[in-house]
């Protein structure tokens, strides 16, 4: 009984909420990665770099608009659009010519892009730490059962479902979404019935990268915007996509939930080794379902 009452304590509740808010960032970034992986078959290592660029752009935009509340909202809107523009250029310029290549080749190409982007960020923004100010009404925390819960994390909790629903609408309710799902299964057939597959691919790629930029812009107020912030995230995003099922957006959601919640609850059980739990969960999932939890489009 002690165990049950301990598990229903406000501490655990808080921890679940914090885990869910972490899930949101992971989901936003991983769903973009998964979308690109599923439809275009590109394992995009540079996805993390686009997340980083999103955070840096958020910094610049919020600065341009005076750093306050307007600056923040403009950053949330404009930074992902900026990232989408960058991705549009590289998709049209380079990837669109290389879809037929082998995965390993695309893998290396996107890896080289992550290095190039890293250096570009350094050239544009420099190596200094940057900080995006938290807008006034997101500052501070509110008590939940006496424990302080950062207000911004509540905002993240709201953003998660919004992004998930919009993605669901795009994929299931639009013609473009239907074509992209079809193209994911059999791209030659879709081309054969007279649909401009290249255009669909371009749009999907840009949407996926937009999500990376959105993740970066959303995370910017709670972290130091700094070179190298892409590395840790891209690892986690790939693991999430793999345990969820390659190319399946709901798999990305499930994977993010597993990753975020095992982490936050793991910390409660054994804070000293809290890092281990999400990775242990990945091992467990892959030992029982090596292809991922949900149906992979590969």
Partner 1 sequence: MKRAMIVGLGVVLLGFLGVSFSYGANTIKVGFVDTYSGPASIYTFDVVDAFKMAIQGINAKGGVLGKKIEYTTRDEKFNPATGLAMAKELVMKEEVDILAGTINSATTLAVSDFAKKEKIPFLCTFAKSEKITGEMGHRYVFGVAENTRMIGKAAAFGIAKKPYTKFWMAGEDYEYGHAVNDAAWRYIKAMKPTAQLLGQTWWKVGEADIAPYVAPILQAKPDCLLMGTGGSGNANFLKLAKAMDIGKQLAVVLHTSIELSNLQALGKDAPEGVWGTVNYLYYYPETPENKTFVEEFRKMYNRPPKVGALYGYAAAQLIAKAYQKAGKVDKEKFITAMEGLTVDSPVGKLEMRKCDHQLMLPMFFGVTKASPQYDYLIADNIMTIAGKDYLPTCEEIMKVRK
Provide the binding-site residues for partner 1, judged by CB under 8 A. Answer: 11, 14-15, 18-19, 21-22, 25, 122, 127-131, 133-134, 139-141, 147-153, 219, 221-224, 226-229, 231-233, 263-264, 267-268, 271-275
CA dist., res. 259 & res. 261, Å (int): 6
| Beta bridge partners of residue 225, listed in sequence order | 130
Q: Which residue has the tokens 């879809």?
A: 99
Other beta carbons within 10 angstroms of residue 63's beta carbon come to 14
Distant-in-sequence, close-in-space partners of 8: CB < 8 Å, separation ≥ 6: none
Handedness of CA 134, 57, 127, 239 (dihedral sign): positive
Radius of gyration (C-alpha) of the chain in whole angstroms? 20
Contact present, 92 and 202 (Cβ < 8 Å): yes
CB 213 to partner 1: min, Å: 15
Spatial separation of the C-alpha atoms in residues 146 and 241, rounded to whole Å = 36
Nearest to 274 by CA among 15, 30, 3, 11: 15
The smaller minimum CB distance to partner 1, of residues 106 and 233, is found at: 233
Pick 6 or 105: Cβ nearer partner 1 = 6
Give the separation between CA 247 and CA 39, rounded to whole angstroms: 7
Report, in Å, the least distance between residue 252 CB and partner 1: 17
Residue 154: partners with Cβ closer than 8 Å, 6 or more residues away: 21, 142
> Of 5, 13, 20, 6, which Cα lies nearest the Cα of 145?
13
Which residue, 75 or 200, is less far from partner 1 as judged by CB? 75
Q: Smallest distance from the beta carbon of 144 to partner 1, in angstroms?
A: 10
CB of 226 to partner 1, least distance (A): 4
Task: Return the number of the residue (110 or 153) whose C-beta is nearest partner 1.
Answer: 153
- The least CB distance from residue 270 to partner 1, in Å, is 10
How many angstroms separate the CA atoms of 160 and 28, rounded? 7
Whether the CB-CB separation of 249 and 16 falls below 8 Å is answered with no
| Nearest-approach distance from CB 21 to partner 1, in angstroms | 7
Name which of 232 and 291 has its Cβ closer to partner 1.
Answer: 232
Residue 38: left (phi > 0), alpha (psi -120 to 50), or beta?
A: alpha
CB of 203 to partner 1, least distance (A): 28
Residue nearer to partner 1 on the CB measure, 147 or 182: 147
**How far apart are CB 186 and partner 1 at their closest, in Å?**
37
């Amino acid at each position: 009984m002690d165990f049950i009452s301990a598990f229903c304590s406000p501490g655990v509740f808080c921890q679940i909420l914090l885990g869910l808010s972490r899930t949101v960032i992971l989901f936003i970034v991983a769903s973009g990665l998964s979308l690109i992986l599923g439809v275009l078959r590109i394992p995009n290592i540079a996805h993390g770099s686009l997340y980083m660029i999103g955070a840096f752009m958020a910094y610049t935009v919020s600065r341009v608009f005076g750093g306050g509340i307007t600056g923040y909202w403009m950053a949330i809107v404009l930074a992902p659009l900026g990232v989408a523009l960058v991705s549009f250029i590289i998709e049209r310029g380079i990837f669109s010519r290389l879809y037929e290549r082998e995965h390993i080749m695309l893998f290396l190409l996107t890896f080289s892009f992550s290095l190039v982007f890293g250096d570009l960020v350094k050239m544009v923004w420099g190596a200094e730490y940057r900080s995006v100010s938290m807008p006034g009404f997101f500052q501070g925390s509110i008590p939940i059962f006496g424990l302080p819960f950062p207000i911004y994390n509540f905002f993240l909790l709201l953003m998660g479902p919004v992004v998930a629903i919009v993605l669901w609408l795009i994929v299931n309710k639009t013609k473009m979404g239907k074509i992209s799902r079809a193209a994911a299964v059999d791209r030659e057939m879709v081309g054969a019935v007279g649909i401009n597959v290249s255009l669909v691919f371009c749009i999907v790629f840009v949407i996926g990268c937009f999500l990376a930029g959105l993740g970066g812009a959303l995370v910017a107020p709670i972290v130091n915007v700094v070179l190298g912030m892409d590395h840790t995230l891209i690892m986690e995003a790939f693991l999430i996509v793999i345990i969820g099922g390659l190319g399946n957006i709901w798999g990305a959601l499930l994977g993010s939930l597993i990753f975020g919640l095992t982490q936050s609850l793991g910390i409660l059980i054994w804070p000293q080794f809290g890092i281990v739990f999400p990775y242990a969960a990945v091992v467990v999932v892959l030992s029982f379902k090596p292809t991922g939890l949900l149906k992979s489009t590969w």
